[in-house]
Amino acid sequence: MSDRPNSPSIAAPETIEVESTRVMCDGDSGGASGHPRVWLEMGDNNFVECGYCDRRFVLKPGVERH
């Protein structure tokens, strides 16, 4: 839900299940529409979203946190 009134909620464009709480995102690996490579940390959450492309990385169910 958004903090702004009358603002529609927008779903993340892509969700990727991962087995680590630290993930790398470059937008579009090898493509022209990519962005700089960034490393993202989930912290205490089971997901993290890329600030460039809004991809959501979700920890697979049952995977131990490292």
Report yes or no on 5 lying in a domain: no
What CATH number does the domain containing 50 carry? 2.60.260.40
How far is residue 47 CA from its own chain's centroid?
7
Report yes or no on 3 lying in a domain: no
Report yes or no on 9 lying in a domain: no
Domain that holds residue 29: 15-59
Report yes or no on 4 lying in a domain: no
Q: What are phi and psi of 47, to 5 degrees?
A: -155, 165
Query: Does position 5 have pLDDT exceeding 70, yes or no?
Result: no
- Total structural domains within the chain: 1
Report yes or no on 48 lying in a domain: yes
pLDDT score recorded for residue 11: 60
**Which band of pLDDT confidence, cut at 50, 70 and 90, is reported for residue 31?**
low
Other C-beta atoms lying within 10 Å of the C-beta of residue 24: 13
Report yes or no on 1 lying in a domain: no
Residue pLDDT, tens place only, 40-62: 999 999 999 999 999 999 999 99
Cross-strand pairs, 47 = 58
CA dihedral in degrees (27, 29, 33, 39; nearest 10)? Answer: 30
What's the pTM value of the predicted model, to 2 decimals? 0.73
